[in-house]
Structure 1
Amino acid sequence: MSDLDIALCDASIGDTPAERNFRREVDASLTAFKLSVDEQPPWPTADGEWAYDAAVITGSQTAVYDHETWMETLAELLRDLHELDIPLLGVCWGHQFIAQTFGGCVSAMDEYELGYQQIERYDSSPLFADFPAEFIAFETHSDEVVRLPPNATELAGNSRSCQAFSLGTAYGVQFHPEYDLKTVKMVTDGKREEGVSESVVETVLTSATPSQHTKTQTAKRVFENFLSIVEQHQ
């Protein structure tokens, strides 16, 4: 495990496997803050020091444009951290939230992107160091970044959505590199209650096999690469 201290901003609602998944995949010391119950990371000190080396923002069952009080507080914190050049990584909802916070636009899609999807890498960013030109990752989202923040660079995408971007030392990925197979099945099964058709849910569940999930190992490298970015930034 690296010596880095990471603030895990858990945006999920209720009892979810988010914290467990990130602790398994991120090889650093994580301090988790459950944002929806008003657990927020500390603010930077007056002289610009912060208790952590970086922040990771998780997925959520909410929409970034819901404008809950805890979201407004998180946005203020991320702006301060970005001004101090503290590295940030957002995953799914976190990706969308970082984009919106810094001037991008997020809106609803016509239908879910759900399942194992192929993603094309556009840029040679260090976040995708040692990645092939195309890779497989698991997706589950019904909102997307439709306009990036000013001066941001799109790093990856597919026919459905922007899949990754960077803005200085802030990064976002739409896909879920932290999911294990158990989470894939649980999340997919739960989409029935959100109006996803039975046929789509069953198709994705059928595809959720150990051999298929092994193909997402490449996507998980974003965590290792992000920690390398944080280390080099210190």
Structure 2
Amino acid sequence: MSEHHVALFDASVGDTPAERNFRRELDASVTAFKVSESDFPGWPGADGSWPYDAVVVSGSQTAVYDREPWMETLAELVRDLHELGVPMLGVCWGHQFLAQSLGGCVAAMDAYELGYRRIERYDDSPLFAGLPGEFVAFETHSDEVLRLPPGAVELAGNETSCQAFSLGPTFGVQFHPEYDLETAREVIEGKREEGVSDATVDAALAEATPERHAESEAAKRVFENFLAVAEHGPTATTAD
């Protein structure tokens, strides 16, 4: 395990595998905060000091535009951390939340993007070092980042939506590199209760095989790359 100390902002609601999945994939000391239950770390000190080297923001069953009280608090915190140059990585909901909190726009899509999808890199960002120009990752979302924050760079996408961005040391990825196959299958099956058609769910389940999941393993590289960025410590952002 590396010497990085990462604050995991777990935005998932209820008992979920989010913390377990991120702890497995992050080669770091991880302190988890259940932010959806208003469990937050202390604010940075007046001198900018903060005990964590980086932040990861998880997915959630909520929508970022729901504007729950805990979301307002979280938005204030991530804006402060961004200004201090603390590296942050948002995953799925976290990707959308960071984009919205820093001045972007998130809105509902016409349908779910569900299952293993191909993603194209648009930029030679260090976040995707070692990954091919196209790669496979697991997707489960019905909202998307429509407009990036001022100064942000779109790093990857597909025919459905923006799949990754950067703004200084803040990054977001729409896909789920932390999922194992068990989580992917559970999430797909759970979409029936959310009104996703049986045909869509059945098709995604049929594709959720060990072989197909193995194709998505390369996407986990973003965690190693993000921690490499975090190793350089807080840096001044270039955003206005």
Q: Report how far residue 200 of structure 1 moved.
A: 0.8
Q: Deviations over 1:3-27 (max 9, x none)?
A: 0000000000000000000000011
Map 1:169-180 onto structure 2 (within 5 A).
Answer: 169-180=169-180
Q: Deviations over 1:135-190 (max 9, x none)?
A: 00000000000000000000000000000000000000000000000000000000
Contact 1:58 1:92 in 2 (8 A): yes
The corresponding residue for 1:146 is 146
The corresponding residue for 1:157 is 157
The corresponding residue for 2:195 is 195
Q: Report how far residue 46 of structure 1 moved.
A: 1.1
Contact 1:9 1:41 in 2 (8 A): no
The corresponding residue for 1:53 is 53
Contact 1:42 1:51 in 2 (8 A): no
Task: Give the gaps of 5 or more residues in structure 1.
Answer: none
**What fraction of aligned residue pairs are identical, expressed as a percent?**
69
SS in 2 for 1:218: helix
The corresponding residue for 2:33 is 33
Amino acid at match of 1:47: D
Q: Deviations over 1:171-214 (max 9, x none)?
A: 00000000000000000000001111101101111111111100
- Root-mean-square deviation (Å): 0.7
The corresponding residue for 1:87 is 87
Map 1:1-234 onto structure 2 (within 5 A).
Answer: 1-233=1-233
Contact 2:156 2:163 in 1 (8 A): yes
Give the TM-score taking structure 2 as reference length. Answer: 0.96
Amino acid at match of 1:50: W
Amino acid at match of 2:147: R
Which protein has greater RCO, CA pairs closer than 8 Å, 6+ apart? 2
Q: Report how far residue 233 of structure 1 moved.
A: 3.4
SS in 2 for 1:19: helix
Task: Give the gaps of 5 or more residues in structure 2.
Answer: 235-240
Amino acid at match of 1:203: A
**C-alpha separation between the residues in 2 aligned to 1:36 and 1:103?**
21
Amino acid at match of 1:190: G
Contact 2:53 2:233 in 1 (8 A): no
**C-alpha separation between the residues in 2 aligned to 1:127 and 1:232?**
14
Amino acid at match of 1:100: Q
**C-alpha separation between the residues in 1 aligned to 2:53 and 2:42?**
13
The corresponding residue for 2:238 is none
**4+ residue stretches of structure 1 with deviation over 4 A?**
none
Q: How many residues align?
A: 234
